[in-house]
Amino acid sequence: MIRPVYATFIFLSLFALPLSSVTAQDTIPSLTSTPTLSSNSKNPNSFWRRLSVGGQIGFQFGTVTGIVVSPDIKIRTIDQLFVGVRLMYEYYNYRDYYFDTRNGELIDNSSNVFGGGLYLRYYLRTLFSSFFGNFFAHVEYEYLFYTQPYVQSAPPPVGYILDPYNYWYVDGKQNIGINTFFVGGGYSQPISGRAFLDFMILFNLNDSYNSPYTNPIIRIGVGVGL
């Protein structure tokens, strides 16, 4: 099976582009905390105070052109345990990817990728009152789906379209599904007010040939709390 072209693009977008993304802040008081009385205080245990929204938008242009849109929503459940859902859409185009041996023509590889993930994230804020409380553990399951423009086949005389990895194909379309399991953690650094900077390092436990990720996976994001 072919390793997707969007592997490089996804890694770069997760590493660099989320710096301009907006994600809801995770510095919500724990369920065991006592709210202070003030003119603008809110119940920290209310539904809306426990809900966070955000996402990522990524762009890359050149030999590999791609666009990534990934909205994210999560809710604090027990103490500092968050349950989140992440959706993803990506368009990519890899210039001159395939070589058609029948006529010597170079062919672009483009596709639409759909998917999403479900994750758990636990912050250590109730265990530590120092900066150690900004560390968190993260586990996530992700599923991606896309349609490959050609069907993988045996070498010639059967196959006649060649990719950069020396795999052969014939005309047709092939559906590809990718299951990924991430484990890791990170650090949430407050900047000012309810703004924060997140650093995360994840490892893919299901690193198959079709996997678009290279371990370790680094995510950096800037967010503002609701």
For 13, the 3-state DSSP assignment is helix
Nearest to 202 by CA among 139, 130, 134, 135: 139
In a domain, residue 176? The reply is yes
Q: How many domains does the chain fold into?
A: 1
The residue segments making up the domain with residue 116 are 7-28+51-224
Quick check: 82 pLDDT over 80? yes
Instruction: Examine residue 36 and state whether it is found in any structural domain, yes or no.
Output: no
**Per-residue pLDDT tens digits for 184-215:** 999 988 877 666 777 889 999 988 777 777 78
Q: Residue 144 pLDDT more than 80?
A: yes
How high is the pLDDT of residue 221? 67
> Any idea which residue has 């119940």 for tokens?
43
Task: Evaluate whether residue 40 is within a structural domain.
Answer: no
User: pTM for this structure?
Assistant: 0.71
Decide if 190 is inside a domain: yes
Contacts 24+ apart (CB under 8 A), 73-79: 74/24, 74/119, 74/121, 75/47, 75/50, 75/51, 76/28, 76/31, 76/50, 76/51, 76/52, 77/50, 78/31, 79/30, 79/31, 79/32, 79/126
Could you report the per-residue pLDDT of 83-110, keeping only the tens digit for each? 999 999 989 898 999 999 999 999 999 9
- The answer to whether residue 172 sits within a structural domain is yes
In a domain, 37, yes or no: no
